[in-house]
Amino acid sequence: MSKFIKTLLVPIKLAVSCQPLNVNWPVKTAILPILFGLSFLFHSAPINAQNLRSLPCEDLYPFYHGVASGDPLADRVVIWTRVTPEEGQDTIAVSWRMALDTGMTELVGNGVFETTASRDFTVKIDVEGLEPDTWYYYDFEAFGLYSLRGRSRTLPVGSVNHARFAVMSCSNYEHGYFNAYKQLAVKNDIQAILHLGDYIYEYQVGGFSAFIDGRQNEPENEIITLEDYRIRHSHYKLDEDLRKLHQQYPWITVWDDHEFANNAWTGGAQNHNPGEGDWEVRKGNGWQSYFEWMPVREQGDNLIRRTIDWGDLIRFYVLDTRIEARDEQVDIGSGAVDDPNRNLLGAGQKSWLVSELQSSDAQWNIFAQQVMMAPLEILGLEVNTDQWDGYQADRDWFYSTIQGQNVVNPVVLTGDFHTSWANNLPLANYNENSETGSAGVEFVVTSVTSTGSPVEVGINTIQFFNPHVEFVDLTHHGYVLLDVTPSKCQGDWYFMDNISVPDWGSFVGAKYAVDNGSRFLHTAGSASSGPDNTALMAPQCPYVEGESGQSEFPADLTILGVYPNPTSGTATMQIALFKGGEVHYEVYSAQGKWITTVDQGYLSRGLHYLQLQSGTLESGVYVINVRIEQSGQVNGASLRLVVGE
C-alpha cells in the first residue's frame, strides 16, 4: 500500500550482547563477520535478545513451530504443523489425531501424513466428518514425541444468535512485539481469528523497521527465493505470542501484498525490480510458501477467495483484491482511476461473487478483504490509489451488484492501512442526516505492529472532506473485536498500550455498530461482550504417555532446517542452541571422507542463522556434523547437504 510514511533505510547488520530476557537489557552494536576454511564460509546471525525470545522451547521438539488450524466449516477444519527432521531424512511419517477432550481420550479421527523436504516438512490435514458447532483438540506425533495440543472448532448450522471474532492485519516483526496476539491468546470469548493479510513482511533487516532491539528479520536479506520465504515464515512462527494464538483458535486468513512484495499487483510490485529476477517466479515462491506454512484449504490455481457460512447469521466472502487480477497502481491524480477497463477483482472473481451472493440467505453478508473501500479524498484528489480509489469502476460495480442483488446487511472488513477507520460507503446521493445513500459500512482494522501516521494530525481535515468517515485513528496498534448478533454488528477497536516491549496492556479506542437493516454506522454505548464459552483452552504442554515411550530431546542443540537443499551456492542453516558452548562444524563426503573442520568459537544460548557457501565443493552429497562442547560434554546434530551444479 501507499503508506502514510515509509522509511527506507540502508540495511545494516547488528550484533548485540545477549542478556537474560527482560525489557531493559543492555545492548552493544558490532560487526561480526567470521571467515572460515578453504571451501566454506559460515556467518553467524546476531547474538541478541531476539535469539533468546525466538529460541524454540526444548519441550516442543520436533514440533518447534507449534500447531495451527484454519478454514473451519460445519463438518471439517484444516490442522497444521511443521516437524523438524532428524539427520538425513527426506520423508517423515507424522501421525495426527483429533479428540473432544484435552486428554485426547475421546478420539474422533486419526491418521498418518507423510511429509517431505519438497514441502519443507510441513503437515496439513483437512479433517472431515466432524460435528457442527463443536470444539475439538488435536495434536501430532513423530519420533515418539507429541506436538502441542491445539484447539479448534467447527461452524454452526441453522439458527445462530451470537458470533464473535478478532480481526487483525499487518504484523511486521521489526515494528514491535506481537502484543495483540499475546492478549488474544488468553481470551476465551471469541470463536475465530480473521487475519486480513500482511502476516509476514518481505523486507531486509532495517528495510521497514522501528529498530527495536531483538526484533530483526531472518533471513537478513529481502526475501526473494522460495528458501527465503520459507525461512521468514519459519521465523515468524517461532514467535511465542503468534504460536500461542494459533494454538487456541481456528484462523481465517487471506494474503495481502507483503506476503509477496510491497504494493503487489498480478504482474509485479513496487518493491520488485528486474535485478531481483522474474516476478512470476517470485510470486510463485510467495504462493508456495504461504500454502505450505498457513492453515488454509487449498483449492487449486493459487486462488484464495472463498465463502464461509456461520450458520444463518453470517456469510463471509474472503476476497482477493491483491494478486488474482489487480492491474498496476496509477499515480495520484491520474485520470486512469476512472478507466472502466481497470481491474481490481477481475472477471473470474466477479462472476464467482455474483453466484455466491445469489445463493446467500445469511442475515449478515461480510466481505473480508485487503484495501480500504470507502473513498479518501482531499480537495477532490484521491489520497491513495492502491486502495479501491484507484479502481473506481470496480467499486461502482461492487456497489451496484450488492444493490441489484438486494444483499442484506453488507459489512466490509479491511486491513492494509495500518490505521483505524469506521466508514459508511457513500453513493452519489449520500446524506448522513437522512441516512440515505450508503451502500454499506466498513470497519478498517489497524495494524498489529506496522507503523501508521507518525503524528495524529489532520483528522478534522479528513472528516471535513470525507463526511462518510465516522471515526479515524492514525497512530495506535491492535485489533478489532467484531461482535455479530441478529440485531447488530459491532466493532470494538482495542489499542495496545505499547508494542516496543512485551506488554499486556490495552484500552478500547472506539465502538461502532450497524443495526440490522441499516447501512449507517453509529457509536455503540458500551463494548460488546462475548458469548458463553465453556471449552477448555488447549494445554501449554505436549501430551506425554510416559517416559518409557519417549525419545530423548536433543540435549543442547537442534538444526531446524537448511535452505536451499540441494544448493548450488549459498545455503542457510537455522540452528537452536539450548545452552551456550564452543561450537564447531565437521564436513564429510557421503563416503565418510573428512573434508574440513570449522571452529565457530563460543556461541550463546539462542537461535542462530548460519550462512554456508559451497565454494569449491564438487557436486555430490555431504554430511555436516554440528557439535557443541561445554564442561567436557559434547553433543551435536547432523544434516545432509546436496550440492548441485
**Residue 113 — pLDDT band, cuts 50, 70, 90?**
very high
What 8-state DSSP symbol labels residue 182?
H
pLDDT of 232 higher than 50: yes
Q: Would you say the C-alpha torsion 392, 397, 398, 399 has a positive or negative sign? A: positive
Could you tell me if 46 and 34 are in contact, meaning their C-beta atoms sit under 8 angstroms apart? Answer: no
Distance CA(448)–CA(638), nearest Å, equals 38
Quick one: average pLDDT of 450-460?
75
pLDDT higher than threshold 80 for residue 278:
yes
In this structure, are residues 447 and 429 in contact, taking their beta carbons and an 8 Å threshold?
Answer: no
The rounded distance, in Å, linking the Cα atoms of 473 and 524 is 17
* Cβ atoms of residues 563 and 227 within 8 Å: yes
Query: Which of 36-40, 90-94, 365-369, 399-403 shows the lowest mean pLDDT across its residues?
Result: 36-40
Whether 442 contacts 399, CB under 8 Å? no
Q: Assign 226 a pLDDT band (cuts: 50, 70, 90).
A: very high
User: Do the domains 163-523 and 62-151+537-549 match in fold?
Assistant: no
Q: Which pLDDT score, from 0 to 100, does residue 97 have?
A: 98
For domain 1-53+556-645, the CATH architecture is Sandwich (2.60)
H helical segments located in 408-448: none
Comparing 2-11, 17-26, 357-366, 500-509, the range with the smallest average pLDDT is 17-26
pTM higher than 0.85 for the full model? no
The percentage of the chain sitting over the pLDDT mark of 70, rounded to a whole number, equals 87
The structural domains of the chain, with segments of one domain joined by +, span 1-53+556-645, 62-151+537-549, 163-523
> Cα separation of 479 and 124, whole Å?
27
Confidence of residue 58 (pLDDT cuts 50, 70, 90): low
Cα-flanking dihedrals φ and ψ of residue 227, to 5°?
-65, -40
- In the structure, what pLDDT confidence band is assigned to residue 516 with cuts at 50, 70 and 90? very high
Query: If pLDDT is split at 50, 70 and 90, which confidence band does 168 have?
Result: very high
CA distance linking residue 33 with residue 322, whole number of Å: 39
pLDDT-derived band at 36, boundaries 50, 70, 90: very low
Strand 135-142 relative to strand 91-99: parallel, antiparallel, unpaired? antiparallel
Residue scoring higher pLDDT (149 or 89): 149
**Percentages of the chain per state (helix, strand, coil), in multiples of 5:** 15, 35, 50
The CA R_g of the chain, rounded to the nearest whole Å, is 25
CB burial of residue 24 (10 Å; 0-12, 13-18, 19+):
exposed
pLDDT beyond 60 at 40: no
Q: Which of 401, 400, 410, 422 is nearest to 316 (CA)?
A: 410
User: Across all residues in the chain, what is the average pLDDT?
Assistant: 87
Query: Which CATH number does 62-151+537-549 carry?
Result: 2.60.40.380
414 sits in which H/E element: strand 410-414
Q: Is 163-523 a domain of CATH 3.30.565.10?
A: no
Average pLDDT over residues 156-175: 98
Give backbone dihedrals phi and psi of 283, rounded to 5 degrees, phi first. -60, -40
Which cell numbers hold the place of 129?
466428518
